[in-house]
Structure 1
Amino acid sequence: MKKIAVFSTKPYDKAFLDRANTPTRMQLDYFETRLKRESVKLVEGYDAVSCFVNDIVDESVLQCLVDMGISLIVLRCAGFNNVDLAAAQRLGVQVSRVPSYSPESVAEHAVAMMLALNRKINKAYNRVKEHNFDLDGLMGFNMQQATIGVIGTGKIGLAALRALRGFGSTLLCHDPYPNDEAAALADYVPLDTLFRTCDIISLHCPLMESTYHLIDKTSIAQMKDGVMLINTSRGALLNAQDALDGMKQGKIGYLGLDVYELEGELFFRDLSDRVMHDDVFGLLLSYHNVLVTGHQGYFTREALTEIAQTTLNNVEAHFSGRRTGNELF
């Protein structure tokens, strides 16, 4: 029976993985800590490693894995920007992922953030809890009248377009690789046109060299005054300092973040008894027109079920010499 070291785990990860592993297909040992250079020694004696979005799988970690005889990393996510793929391929370590796990979960979370920011749901909720029913300061706008831009029209971006279509909004999109399904829902436009035209911009593209800090002071300057920005994809798509400056200047009217560039030291942990040392993040949280959630866009029963089943299938396929199509090379 193969032994798998599962990193960055929470009780819900264990519950869904154990369910997928019934009857027992392999030995799963859970570590709440992230995989990184300081914790890689925990992997000794295992056959494979399972990682999540904030584990650090750089060349030094990969070399340690190889030295311990490990040739498989199974990611419990679609993104892989935290893995040095070139080093993995060179060292002979296969990396598999979960390419699609209920794309609707992330898309629906993005739309929920749009609605919450627009109609100031959090502010209204807090007022009513204090028996304050005054509506002053809670005015929103009709989504039907808005022009909404979706950057990235893969599975999640496409799900977002389907959801947004129901509002009757004008939909624009951008992707270097257009597809017919998205084209039937929205008009593909150049990125600068999308920036200039849209009232709401939602990011659904992967993080790579070409998209790193896609949203920065230059792109923000092209946008409409009072634009709403939503990022439920990868934190480093957006330069947080430039977004903060845009908030101060009134250029950005609403900001919804389910991801953050430096989230590795923050998200998926209870830090309520600690002082926040990230000044940019702390200042963003102080704005009434900023909504931050802790990378929970994927967090639905359907998504966790698919993640667990696909992860275990990827392990079994590798050790039986089969390919699933989930391999990254």
Structure 2
Amino acid sequence: MKICVYDILDYEEPILKRLQQQLDVELVPVHGPLTADTLALAEGCGGISVLGYSRVDRPLLEAMAQAGIRHLSTRTIGYDHIDAEAAKALGVHVYHAHYDPNNVADFTVMMMLILLRKAKVSICRALVNDFSLDGLMGRELRSLTVGVIGTGKIGAAVIRNLSGFGCRVLACAHHPDSSLAGMAEYVELDQLYTQSDIVTLHVPLTQANYHMIDAEALGKMKPGVILINTARGQLIDTESLIAALESGQVGGAGIDTLEEESGVMHVHVGTRIIDNRSLLYLKQFPNVVYTQHYAFFTQEATESMVLCGLRSVLDGSRGIPTPCEVK
């Protein structure tokens, strides 16, 4: 079987080369995104694999279906760059990737500790030989309440990590996880907002939760709350977050993903002018840790995502059920 692989990044190349032999599959490598123009490169292929750089809308899915390509995988956990409803209507099977949750869960707790101990300011001072302690007094996790929104695989792993710190953990989710009994108390969202010293997001992006963290939600939180987002940027209204940081309502933010990051994330911008003013403004806050959407980025996770991207298409084309299919 032939699979056309779009959006290939440098670190994926050796993985794809090894898997091509291991899975006995013919790959058509394309470093650019899947578009109406580049779809022709997938001629004769039984499936396509992409990353988030490809925006797969209904017209593109219609063109795929007309070309007889009925299997599409994304080598990412999230699949909001694919019109999944249109794909279902057109008979195109969509698959997303899987990796063990430790990478993002560990990164989330790291963000909390960096902000609690004001490590960004400390490191910047040390670079210019300023070893003063003014303004560096921090807090300890054991004396705080952490609110975890979403207790899927990653949210549950965060809670298990936090259980070793001795802090109180509140959780809110559509489907509570019974295995977390004794480690977290499930509460309504408003209670989580009002009682948590730290709020961390671990839900997929949907139409229903777009900008769930807006001015109203931030106003319900404790003054000085720390907000962590290693999930999806569009969960937070950036302008509302900026206003809350300016007023002190939010005491710190760990942001690994921003709602508008196209053209910047995973790119060496260099001397090119960045027109994303919100990104630049957020970066300058001493109590904001802003990273390049790389909480997922470990050797173990990247290999798992590439493998899912190929194996799901292979299994799906053979009628073998796969847990990675988007339902």
- The two structures share one fold, judged by TM-score above 0.5: yes
Equivalence for 1:93: 92
Equivalence for 1:240: 238
* 1:259 aligned onto 2:257: yes
State which of 184, 187, 207 in structure 2 corresponds to 1:186.
184
* 1:276 aligned onto 2:274: yes
> In 2, Cα distance between the equivalents of 1:206 and 1:78?
9
Gap runs ≥5 in structure 1: none
State which of 302, 319, 322 in structure 1 corresponds to 2:320.
322
| Counterpart residue type for residue 260 of structure 2 | L
* 1:142 aligned onto 2:140: yes
In structure 2, the residue corresponding to 1:95 is in which secondary structure? strand
Shift of 1:92: 1.2
Task: State which drifts further: 132-141 or 218-227.
Answer: 132-141
| Counterpart residue type for residue 214 of structure 2 | D
> In 2, Cα distance between the equivalents of 1:278 and 1:31?
28
> In 2, Cα distance between the equivalents of 1:181 and 1:279?
43
Paired residues for 1:1-329 under 5 Å: 2-23=1-22, 25-37=24-36, 39-98=38-97, 100-329=98-327
> In 1, Cα distance between the equivalents of 2:136 and 2:168?
24
> In 1, Cα distance between the equivalents of 2:302 and 2:325?
20
Shift of 1:36: 4.1
CA distance 1:46–1:269, shift in 2 (3 Å): farther
| Counterpart residue type for residue 12 of structure 2 | D
> In 1, Cα distance between the equivalents of 2:292 and 2:116?
20
> In 2, Cα distance between the equivalents of 1:244 and 1:39?
39
| Counterpart residue type for residue 278 of structure 1 | N
RMSD over aligned Cα, in angstroms? 1.7
Contact 2:28/2:42, CA 8 A, preserved across alignment: no
> In 1, Cα distance between the equivalents of 2:65 and 2:121?
51
> In 2, Cα distance between the equivalents of 1:187 and 1:204?
16
In structure 1, the residue corresponding to 2:21 is in which secondary structure? coil
Identity of aligned residues (%): 34
Shift of 1:119: 1.4
In structure 2, the residue corresponding to 1:22 is in which secondary structure? helix
Gap runs ≥5 in structure 2: none
> In 2, Cα distance between the equivalents of 1:213 and 1:145?
29
| Counterpart residue type for residue 133 of structure 1 | F
Task: State which drifts further: 288-297 or 261-270.
Answer: 261-270
In structure 1, the residue corresponding to 2:147 is in which secondary structure? strand
| Counterpart residue type for residue 73 of structure 1 | L
Shift of 1:141: 0.5
**Matched residues, number:** 327
In structure 2, the residue corresponding to 1:18 is in which secondary structure? helix
CA distance 1:176–1:30, shift in 2 (3 Å): same
Contact 1:95/1:328, CA 8 A, preserved across alignment: yes
> In 1, Cα distance between the equivalents of 2:234 and 2:104?
17
| Counterpart residue type for residue 196 of structure 1 | T
| Counterpart residue type for residue 7 of structure 1 | Y
| Counterpart residue type for residue 136 of structure 2 | L
For normalisation by structure 1, the TM-score amounts to 0.94
Shift of 1:115: 1.2
Contact 1:17/1:308, CA 8 A, preserved across alignment: yes
> In 2, Cα distance between the equivalents of 1:246 and 1:22?
52
Shift of 1:37: 4.7
> In 2, Cα distance between the equivalents of 1:35 and 1:116?
38
CA distance 1:60–1:13, shift in 2 (3 Å): same
In structure 2, the residue corresponding to 1:102 is in which secondary structure? coil
Write out per-residue CA displacement over residues 304-329 of structure 1, whole angstroms, 9 at most, x where no aligned residue.
22222222221221222211222113
Contact 2:210/2:235, CA 8 A, preserved across alignment: yes
Contact 1:153/1:182, CA 8 A, preserved across alignment: no
In structure 2, the residue corresponding to 1:194 is in which secondary structure? helix
For normalisation by structure 2, the TM-score amounts to 0.95
In structure 2, the residue corresponding to 1:21 is in which secondary structure? helix
Shift of 1:201: 0.4
